[in-house]
Amino acid sequence: MRNVGIVGVGYCPRFVSKRTDVCIPEMVSEAVEAAFADCGLGPEDIDAVIFGNMHPFEGVNMPHLWAVEHMRALGKPVMRIATGGTTGMTAFHAAYYHIVSGLHDVVMVVTFEKHSEGDAQVGLLGIITPEAMAMMMAGIDLTGAGGMGAQGGGSAGAITYQAVSWMHKSGATIDHIDAIAAMERRNAARNPYAHLKDPEATPEKIAKTPMISYPVRFGHVCPTTDGATVCILASEERAAKIADKVAWVWGVASCASDPTTGNLIEGLITDPAEQRQCVIAAQEAYKRAGIEDPKKEIDYVEIYNGFAHQTLMYLELVGMCEVGEAHKLLEKGELEISGRLPVNASGGVVSTNAIGTSALNRVTECALQIMGKAGERQVEKEVHKALAHGWGGLMQYVSITILADKPKKL
Amino acid sequence: MEETRIVHGYWELSTFNFNIEARGINLMLEGFKEKKLKGIKCHQCGMVYLPGPFYCRKCHVNIDEPVEISDHGTVRTYTVQYADIRGEPMPEPRVSAMVQFDGCDSWVMGVVQCDPKDIHVGMRVKIKWKEQTVGNMQDMEAFVPE
């Protein structure tokens, strides 16, 4: 084993609903250039490129090959990763493995989603095509008002069941979901790379947004965003020469569970709020990072929250607080940028969701907090160790990355 | 700023032919004809699945013991839907739930015919079968309060 650190982060200039001024490879190129500018490296310094994108959303099956020149990858190994919402973090983990194995020294992770060119609902349905087709053959109306439509809405349909189950277990109410959504929108207003921003957001304002499916309101739901993110990793030896400030990777882990929704053919469908894979992945990541008490040792957390209640639910599941405690921390203001346990100073996925980038952005935002480069969204407390969480797959895959301000003792 | 040119795309390139394991769902649909819920039980750990897979997800052994499951169960989680998959308002709010039927480990999703104000976790419900059942998901018309 050897240490690996993040030496450069690059975002495309803005994350918005529609980037009509650039095509996919051009948008990717913007983020690559930003990452090179951030760490002073150039194409000649990169050994390999990992590319992350969920192709069903755009219908472009080989975007990494389309963009190979735009990401300056000619003549280099290029690998594409697609694991749903976790895509960006799985790509990051792949880059980490490339370096920790000793095979490569400097690896670039390139991720994007350009939702405006595709169809997110079809993309979400497309992840289970054979099962979806079989369900329709058996008489289930996936999309309309006639039957079990809630499970046909991809994550947005099944997520309502998750939210109710979590509220039942934790004692939280819809008012807490309004409050965390408002916090994320306010945080997003400080982040130049966030999509939905509202410096004046209040729980009352969120509560006025239309109810889609109880308890999920319009104000609780992520947007579909166009955006690209790039992250450059290097071995300890190289990192020391490249950058003054490095965010070191202390532990990575991923875990899949049984399909909690969608897999009618062979699955045991149970509680969508159980998310046991998250508990397992977090424990494994803590073990690898040598963290005994995350509540005391982790200073900052980025949660993948496609839907606002997930910030609170996953804080509990990664062990940053007890079950039923997250909404109380929220009430006390502890999750704010100025708080004791700041979470999602970036505004989270609920404010910005270019899916291929979303789980990587959790990692890069933790890295920027550790490096002290988060600008207006820099949290008040010092960040020595941070946890990034990614949620994806068929709602049943979770990735965790733990970063720190010093190399790990090997 | 110069805009990119938009090329409209539409996928209708081919037909896909997916092979799926459908014995469990077929057993369930066969049961519907007699207004019964039929799942598969693991002989090793006792887990009861609906619809049944033909291997146990916990034990990773082949399983093939059909069991009849009660059509009465408990609401484990629910939602009240106000908009459809495309965000269009529903004509009426629709209550749906994940129900754990008595003696079954899986949770099953379906529409609940009740006042949206009454739905809650722990509510007891039963299946309202169509009068004429044909072995189709539509046979299970709805869940109704016990």
What is the per-residue pLDDT across A181-220, written as a single tens digit (0 to 9) for each? 999 999 999 999 999 999 999 999 999 999 988 999 999 9
Q: Give the count of alpha carbons within 13 A of A129, CB side only.
A: 9
Question: What's the token pair of residue A255?
Answer: 């875990």
Q: What is the mean pLDDT of residues A234-246?
A: 96
Number of structural domains found in chain B:
1
How confident is the model at residue A156, as a pLDDT? 52
Which CB contacts under 8 angstroms, 24+ apart, belong to B29-35?
B29/A138, B29/B135, B29/B136, B29/B137, B30/B135, B31/B68, B32/B129, B32/B133, B32/B134, B32/B135, B32/B136, B32/B137, B32/B139, B32/B140, B33/B133, B33/B134, B33/B135, B33/B139, B34/B133, B35/B71, B35/B127, B35/B129, B35/B133, B35/B139
How confident is the model at residue A150, as a pLDDT? 44
How confident is the model at residue A291, as a pLDDT? 98
How confident is the model at residue A121, as a pLDDT? 72
Q: Give the rounded percent of residues in chain B with a pLDDT score beyond 70.
A: 97
Domain residue limits at B73: 23-145
Q: What is the mean pLDDT of residues A337-364?
A: 98
How confident is the model at residue B52, as a pLDDT? 83
Q: Give the rounded percent of residues in chain B with a pLDDT score beyond 90.
A: 51
Task: Answer yes or no: do B107 and A129 touch at CB < 8 A.
Answer: no
In this prediction, residue A266 has a pLDDT band, given cuts at 50, 70 and 90, of: very low
Asked if residue B90 is part of any domain, the answer here is: yes
Identify the residue with better confidence: A13 or B53: A13
Task: Answer yes or no: do B138 and A160 touch at CB < 8 A.
Answer: no
How confident is the model at residue B14, as a pLDDT? 80
How confident is the model at residue B6, as a pLDDT? 78
Pick B76's closest partner by Cβ from A165, A215, A266.
A165
Identify the residue with better confidence: A267 or A126: A126
In this prediction, residue A128 has a pLDDT band, given cuts at 50, 70 and 90, of: low
How confident is the model at residue A141, as a pLDDT? 58
Among A50-64, A88-102, A264-278, A279-293, the range scoring the smallest mean pLDDT is: A264-278
Q: With 90 as the cut, is the pLDDT of residue A139 above it?
A: no
Q: How many beta-carbon pairs below 8 A join chains A and B?
A: 140
Task: Answer yes or no: do B84 and A266 touch at CB < 8 A.
Answer: no
Question: What's the token pair of residue A273?
Answer: 């709020």
At residue A133, φ and ψ (nearest 5 deg) are: -65, -45
A137 at the B interface (CB within 8 A)?
no
Pick B1's closest partner by Cβ from A21, A149, A269.
A21
Taking only residues 15 to 34 of chain A, the set having a beta carbon closer than 8 angstroms to any beta carbon of chain B reads 20-23, 26
A301-330 residue pLDDT tens: 999 999 999 999 999 999 999 999 999 999
Asked if residue B99 is part of any domain, the answer here is: yes
How confident is the model at residue A122, as a pLDDT? 72
Q: What is the mean pLDDT of residues B65-74?
A: 97
Question: What's the token pair of residue A158?
Answer: 């099944």
Q: Give the rounded percent of residues in chain A with a pLDDT score beyond 70.
A: 90
Pick A213's closest partner by Cβ from B11, B25, B83.
B83
Identify the residue with better confidence: B11 or B54: B54
Q: What is the mean pLDDT of residues A330-343?
A: 98
How confident is the model at residue B19, as a pLDDT? 80
CATH code, B140: 2.40.50.140
Task: Answer yes or no: do A267 and B57 touch at CB < 8 A.
Answer: yes
Asked if residue B6 is part of any domain, the answer here is: no
Q: With 60 as the cut, is the pLDDT of residue A6 above it?
A: yes
How confident is the model at residue A255, as a pLDDT? 92
Distance CA B80, CA A89 (A): 33
Asked if residue B8 is part of any domain, the answer here is: no
Q: Which CATH number is correct for A4-119+223-404, 3.20.20.70, 3.50.50.60, 3.40.50.700, 3.40.47.10? A: 3.40.47.10
Q: With 60 as the cut, is the pLDDT of residue A153 above it?
A: no
B101 at the A interface (CB within 8 A)?
no
Q: What is the mean pLDDT of chain A?
A: 91
Taking only residues 163 to 192 of chain A, the set having a beta carbon closer than 8 angstroms to any beta carbon of chain B reads 164-165, 168
Q: What is the mean pLDDT of residues B84-100?
A: 83
How confident is the model at residue A131, as a pLDDT? 64
Identify the residue with better confidence: A380 or A147: A380
Q: With 70 as the cut, is the pLDDT of residue A155 above it?
A: no
Pick A138's closest partner by Cβ from B3, B108, B136.
B136
Identify the residue with better confidence: A395 or A397: A397
Q: Is the peptide bond before A192 cis (omega within 30 degrees of 0)?
A: no
Among A123-137, A229-243, B38-52, B99-113, the range scoring the smallest mean pLDDT is: A123-137
Give the nearest chain A residue to B99 (CA atoms): A270
How confident is the model at residue B15, as a pLDDT? 81
Distance CA A229, CA A366 (A): 14
- The 3-state secondary structure of A3-70 reads CEEEEEEEECCCCECCCCCCCHHHHHHHHHHHHHHHHCCCHHHCCEEEEECCHHHHCCCCHHHHCCCC
Task: Answer yes or no: do B6 and A161 touch at CB < 8 A.
Answer: no
How confident is the model at residue A358, as a pLDDT? 98
Q: With 90 as the cut, is the pLDDT of residue B109 above it?
A: no
Residue A23 to chain B, least CA–CA distance (Å): 7
Measured torsion, CA atoms of residues B107, B17, A54, B51, in degrees rounded to the nearest 10: 10
Among A30-34, A86-90, B61-65, B71-75, the range scoring the smallest mean pLDDT is: B61-65
* Strand boundaries in A364-408, DSSP class E: 385-392, 397-404
Residue A70 to chain B, least CA–CA distance (Å): 16
Among B37-51, B87-101, B122-136, the range scoring the smallest mean pLDDT is: B87-101
Q: Give the count of alpha carbons within 13 A of A329, CB side only.
A: 24
B67 at the A interface (CB within 8 A)?
no
Give the nearest chain A residue to B11 (CA atoms): A59
